[in-house]
Each structure stands twice: as structure tokens, then as C-alpha cells.
């Protein structure tokens, strides 16, 4: 047994525990910014270390935990998302709560859950990782003690999340009963298309769809995204969703690969529905976070549709898209947070005249939203192209066309936000301030979105290697 394969997970746990200890040692009135900076430095170190793990393909704990390119790709995505979120939210967390140390420690523990999910090769490990992540998020969503919305969002997420976990587990128990195994590779050997197995698979799909906020299990997303503190919303949108896709890909392409004729039609219908409901829902929103929540439902639909290709090309498209979506979201949420810090609310109206107050943030927001809409030369265009080309090759041309039409409609409500920033008059004449780290994150997001959009080859190569690891 090679425990060294677990180094990055163990390191993140130690980092979280150290932050709790330092939090206790720091005097009560002292600022907690140093803890956030410490977490960022630690994560940067771990991120650098994970690059040394490329090329490994080995398992620990009797094959319950695997380190391969696919898992590493997702782990790096989660770590980068956490680093960027921490960087742009240092001020906000300080203002929001007196327990900033606990906030950072919990965020890191949620990160461990995601990393375990990316590496899980059996239903038990997968379940433990999933629950570690979601239980941490229940707490984080309700972390803002001053806000009534935050506690409401927290309890809604906790109840719906626990219920969906129970449904998911009930499905797992049927799969276990009728294949006699919980290892994904063993399940694949023993699986037959009996009604009980299909019933279990259906329940598991419902559970996964909840975590990914796929229609018709998306009802929680707008409320939770709106009520949660902004950094938590950002993590929910970027990392928790990507973690969900990591386990969905492994479960469906390893364990249920032989049942493709049963789950492909379901997935295509769910993906199409998510695109339509997400885009139509977003049009009416007045709150930036709520608009991004509906937009994330639609984006989940785009990413999910990549599964229909059922080949490495489709999975490659999904992985590329997950990264692009993260990069674009970092920019959008950083701007939302900067505006929130300034005027204490996060409605789209509050973005009015941002171009005069802070031209940089207005440009970052515009580029991020256009990337989500999929306009060239922004990165989102590349991601959509990979996915839609892959599924059109596999005979799902109708879904590719639906996706394109929906992307065009989505430009409409993204443009509404851009118009508010550029043409509306400034509401107040306060001087706009933001922290240096937020400025850096916004710039990084801008540069990455444009760079990947113009020169996607390196990311595509990496995603391709990761996708090949599944087959």
C-alpha cells in the first residue's frame, strides 16, 4: 500500500487543522487576513506538488482510491478555484464574520471532500467524499450570521441535500445488491439490465442531478446561490459542480458503460431541459447571484451534454468547459463581490455605471459574461465548440443545435448586464476601492479567458490526456 499517493489530500487536511490552531492562538481583535494568506500559500505549494504526480496511475486501499491523470486534472481545478476564491474574498470574509479562521478551515475541508471524490473508484469512497463536501457546504452557506437569507439558504440546502443523498444511497444499495460489489470496475463486470439495477441507476441519476443542479432537480440552486455568502456561491458554482461531474463521469463510463442504451436518452433529455430552463429563468432575474445561478443551470446542461458522445472527445470537451467555466465565474464573482463591498447589495442595478467607477472591473465582467455566452474570441466559444462537435458526430445534432440557439438567447440577458455597466448613470459618487488581491484575481481571470480563447491547445492536450485515463 502506497500511502504517498494520498499526500495532497493529507496536506490539505493538515493545512486546515493548522488554520484552526492558529485561529485559536491569534488574539481575538487581530485581523484574520494572515490566515487566509497562509491558506493560499499552502494551497499553492500543494498545487505545485500535484504536478509531480502526473504520469502515475496507481491505487491505494485495495483499489478504493486511484491517482490518475483524470483525478489530478480535477484536483488541480479544485485547488485553483479555492485559491482564487480565497484571494478575492479576504476583505469580504473579514467583514462578514468574526470567525474567519473557521471559514477558511471549512473551505479547505470541503476541498478535501472534492479531491476524494475525484479519486474515488468505489461507491463508498465516492459517497464519503461527496458527503464531506456537501456537509461542509451546508455550514458555509449558512455562515453569514447577520443575514436572514443566509440561514434560509442554509436550511434549504441542508434539507434538500440530505434528502437527495438518501435517494442516491437507496439507488446505491440496489446496485450493490444486484451486482454484489461496490467497486466501479467490478460492478461493470457483473452488471445486467435487470429492472432492479435500472431502478437503482435511476435513483442515482436523480441524486447526481441534484448535486449538479440539473433540471428537474435544480429548484434549490437559485435560492441557495442568492442567500449564500459570495465566496461560497462562487465555490458552489465552480468547484462543487466540477466535483459532481468528476464522479458522474467515472460512475457512468466505468460502472454503467454497458447500460449506455438506457442512460443516454435520459441524459440527453435532462441536458436539453437544463439549457432551456436555465436560459429562460435567467432572463427575468434582478439579482446578479440569482442570474448567475440560472446561468449555472444552463452551463451544467452544456457540460452534461458532452457525455452523450460517450467517447474521449466528448469528455475532453466537458473537462475543457469545466475549466473555462471556472475561469469565467471567478471574474464574474470577483466583480460582484467588489460591488457588494461598495454598496452592500448584489442586484444587477448596483452595477450601473461601473465602467466609469472602475473600468477594469467592467471589462472583466463583460469578458466573463461573454465567455459564458460563448462568443468568440472568448474561451467559452472553444469549450462549446469541442462539446457540440463531439455530440454532433455521435448523432445528437438536435441537441447541438438547441445548445447553439440557447447560447444566442443567453447573449440577450448578459448584454442587459453589460448595458447597465456601460450606459446607465452612476448612482453614487463614492470613490470605488478594492483590495489588491481582488484586482489581481480579476486580471488573471481576464487574461486566462482571452488566452484560452485564442490559444486553447495546451489546455486541450491536458484535458485529452485526462479523458483518455477513463478508457
Partner 1 sequence: MIGMAHFLTVAAIIFAIGLYGVLTKRTIIGILMSIELMLNAVNINLITFSHFITPEALTGQVFAIFTITVAAAEVAVGLAMVFRVYHDRNTVHAARLDEMHW
- Residue 135 touches partner 1, criterion: CB under 8 A: yes
Question: What is d(CA 361, CA 443) in angstroms, rounded to the nearest whole number?
Answer: 9
* Residue of the chain from 56, 139, 360, 411 that contacts partner 1 (CB under 8 A): 139
If one asks whether residue 276 binds partner 1 (CB under 8 A), the answer comes out as no
**Which residue's CB is nearer to partner 1, number 176 or number 451?**
176
Contacting range for partner 1; rule: CB under 8 A; set: 48-56, 84-92, 128-136, 330-338: 128-136
In angstroms, give the least distance from the CB of 200 to partner 1.
10
Site string for partner 1, 289-318 (x = CB under 8 A): -x----------------------------
Contacts of residue 4, Cβ cutoff 8 Å, sequence gap at least 6: none
Contact between 412 and partner 1 per CB under 8 A = no
| Least distance in angstroms from the C-beta of 273 to partner 1 | 19
Q: Is 357 in the site for partner 1 (CB under 8 A)?
A: no
Report yes or no: 333 and 406 within 8 Å, Cβ to Cβ: no
CB closer to partner 1 out of 203 and 304: 203
Work out which of 57, 98, 177, 455 binds partner 1, going by CB under 8 A: 177
C-beta closer to partner 1: residue 145 or 404 = 145
Q: Give the C-alpha separation, 425 to 353, whole Å.
A: 5
Measured from the Cβ of residue 202, the count of other Cβ atoms closer than 10 Å reads 16
Burial class (CB in 10 A: 0-12, 13-18, 19+), 368: buried
SS3 287: strand
CB of 12 to partner 1, least distance (A): 19
Whole-angstrom Cα distance, residue 378 to residue 237?
A: 19
Looking at 166, 269, 404, 454, which residue binds partner 1 (CB under 8 A)? 166
DSSP secondary structure code for residue 330 in this structure: H
User: Does 216 contact partner 1 by CB under 8 A?
Assistant: no
By CB under 8 A, residue 223 contacts partner 1: yes
- Which long-range contacts (C-beta less than 8 Å, at least 24 apart) are formed by 221-225? 221/293, 221/294, 221/296, 221/297, 222/281, 222/285, 222/290, 222/293, 222/294, 223/152, 223/153, 223/156, 224/141, 224/153, 224/156, 224/157, 224/293, 225/289, 225/290, 225/292, 225/293, 225/296
Cα–Cα distance, 80 to 84 (Å, whole number): 6
- Crossing angle between the packed helical segments 220-227 and 148-179, to the nearest 10 degrees: 140
CA–chain centroid gap for 431, Å, is: 33
- 99 binds partner 1, rule: CB under 8 A: no
| Binding-site size, partner 1 (CB under 8 A) | 43
Among 32, 156, 316, 357, binds partner 1 (CB under 8 A): 156
**217's grid cell:** 432537480
Q: Does 211 help bind partner 1 (rule: CB under 8 A)?
A: no
If one asks whether residue 155 binds partner 1 (CB under 8 A), the answer comes out as yes
**By CB under 8 A, residue 268 contacts partner 1:** no
Residue 61 as a binder of partner 1 (CB under 8 A): the answer is no
Stretch that binds partner 1, among 44-52, 180-188, 418-426, 437-445 (CB under 8 A): 180-188
Looking at the Cβ atoms of 36 and 244, the one nearer to partner 1 is 244
**Binding to partner 1 by residue 92, rule CB under 8 A?**
no
Which of 91, 102 has the CB closer to partner 1? 102
Cβ-defined contacts of 258-265 (< 8 Å, 24+): 258/188, 258/191, 259/191, 259/193, 259/197, 259/198, 259/201, 260/310, 262/193, 262/198, 262/201, 263/201, 263/205, 264/308, 264/310
Question: How far is 79 from 219, CA to CA, in rounded Å?
Answer: 28
Q: Which stretch binds partner 1 (CB under 8 A): 79-87, 120-128, 348-356, 362-370?
A: 120-128
User: Are the beta carbons of 281 and 409 closer than 8 angstroms?
Assistant: no
* 227 near partner 1 (CB under 8 A): yes
The stretch among 96-104, 121-129, 206-214, 387-395 that binds partner 1 (CB under 8 A) is 121-129
- Shortest approach of partner 1 to residue 192 CB, angstroms? 14
Hey, what long-range contacts does 428-433 have (CB within 8 A, 24 or more apart)? 428/343, 430/342, 432/338, 432/342, 432/357, 432/358, 433/342
Q: Does 142 bind partner 1 (CB under 8 A)?
A: yes
- Binding flag, residue 415, partner 1 (CB under 8 A): no
Regarding 127 and contact with partner 1 (CB under 8 A), the answer is: yes
Chain residues binding partner 1 by CB under 8 A are 123-124, 127-128, 131, 135, 138-139, 142, 145, 148-149, 151-156, 158-159, 161-163, 165-167, 169-170, 172-174, 176-177, 180-182, 222-223, 226-227, 284-285, 290
Amino acid at each position: 500500500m502506497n500511502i504517498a499517493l494520498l499526500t495532497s489530500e493529507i496536506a490539505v487536511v493538515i493545512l486546515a487543522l493548522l488554520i484552526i490552531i492558529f485561529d485559536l492562538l491569534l488574539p481575538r481583535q487581530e485581523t484574520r487576513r494572515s490566515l487566509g494568506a497562509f491558506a493560499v500559500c499552502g494551497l499553492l505549494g500543494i498545487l505545485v506538488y500535484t504536478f509531480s504526480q502526473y504520469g502515475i496511475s496507481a491505487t491505494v486501499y485495495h483499489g478504493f482510491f486511484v491517482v490518475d491523470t483524470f483525478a489530478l486534472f480535477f484536483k488541480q481545478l479544485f485547488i485553483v478555484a479555492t485559491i482564487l476564491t480565497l484571494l478575492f474574498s479576504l476583505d469580504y470574509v473579514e467583514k462578514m464574520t468574526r470567525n474567519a479562521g473557521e471559514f477558511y478551515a471549512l473551505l479547505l475541508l470541503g476541498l478535501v471532500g472534492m479531491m476524494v471524490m475525484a479519486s474515488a473508484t468505489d461507491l463508498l469512497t465516492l459517497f464519503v467524499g461527496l458527503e464531506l463536501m456537501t456537509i461542509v457546504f451546508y455550514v458555509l452557506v449558512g455562515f453569514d450570521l447577520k443575514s436572514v437569507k443566509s440561514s434560509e439558504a442554509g436550511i434549504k440546502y441542508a434539507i434538500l441535500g440530505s434528502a437527495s443523498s438518501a435517494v442516491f444511497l437507496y439507488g446505491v444499495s440496489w446496485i450493490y445488491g444486484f451486482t454484489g460489489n461496490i467497486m466501479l470496475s467490478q460492478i461493470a463486470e457483473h452488471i445486467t439490465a435487470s429492472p432492479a439495477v435500472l431502478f437503482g441507476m435511476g435513483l442515482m441519476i436523480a441524486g447526481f442531478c441534484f448535486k449538479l443542479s440539473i433540471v428537474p432537480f435544480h429548484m434549490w440552486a437559485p435560492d441557495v446561490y442568492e442567500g449564500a455568502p459570495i465566496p461560497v456561491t462562487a465555490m458552489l458554482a465552480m468547484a462543487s459542480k466540477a466535483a459532481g461531474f468528476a464522479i458522474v463521469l467515472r460512475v457512468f463510463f466505468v460502472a454503467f458503460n454497458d447500460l449506455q442504451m438506457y442512460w443516454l436518452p435520459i441524459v440527453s433529455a435532462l441536458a436539453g431541459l437544463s439549457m432551456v430552463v436555465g436560459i429562460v429563468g435567467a432572463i427575468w432575474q434582478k439579482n446578479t447571484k440569482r442570474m448567475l445561478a440560472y446561468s449555472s443551470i444552463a452551463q451544467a446542461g452544456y457540460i452534461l451534454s458532452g457525455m452523450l458522445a460517450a467517447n474521449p472527445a466528448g469528455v475532453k470537451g466537458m473537462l475543457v468547459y469545466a475549466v473555462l467555466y471556472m475561469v469565467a465565474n471567478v471574474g464574474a464573482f470577483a466583480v460582484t463581490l467588489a460591488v457588494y463591498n461598495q454598496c452592500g447589495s448584489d442586484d444587477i442595478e448596483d452595477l450601473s455605471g461601473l465602467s466609469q467607477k472602475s473600468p477594469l472591473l467592467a471589462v472583466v465582467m463583460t469578458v466573463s459574461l461573454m465567455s459564458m455566452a460563448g462568443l468568440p474570441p472568448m474561451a467559452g466559444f472553444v469549450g462549446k465548440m469541442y462539446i457540440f462537435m463531439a455530440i454532433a458526430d455521435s448523432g445528437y445534432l438536435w441537441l447541438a443545435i438547441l445548445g447553439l440557439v440557447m447560447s444566442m438567447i443567453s447573449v440577450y440577458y448578459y448584454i442587459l448586464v453589460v448595458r447597465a455597466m456601460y450606459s446607465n448613470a452612476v448612482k453614487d459618487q463614492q470613490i470605488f476601492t478594492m483590495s489588491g488581491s481582488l484586482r489581481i484575481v480579476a486580471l488573471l481571470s481576464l487574461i486566462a479567458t482571452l488566452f484560452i480563447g485564442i490559444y486553447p491547445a495546451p489546455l486541450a492536450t491536458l484535458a485529452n490526456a485526462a479523458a483518455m485515463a477513463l478508457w
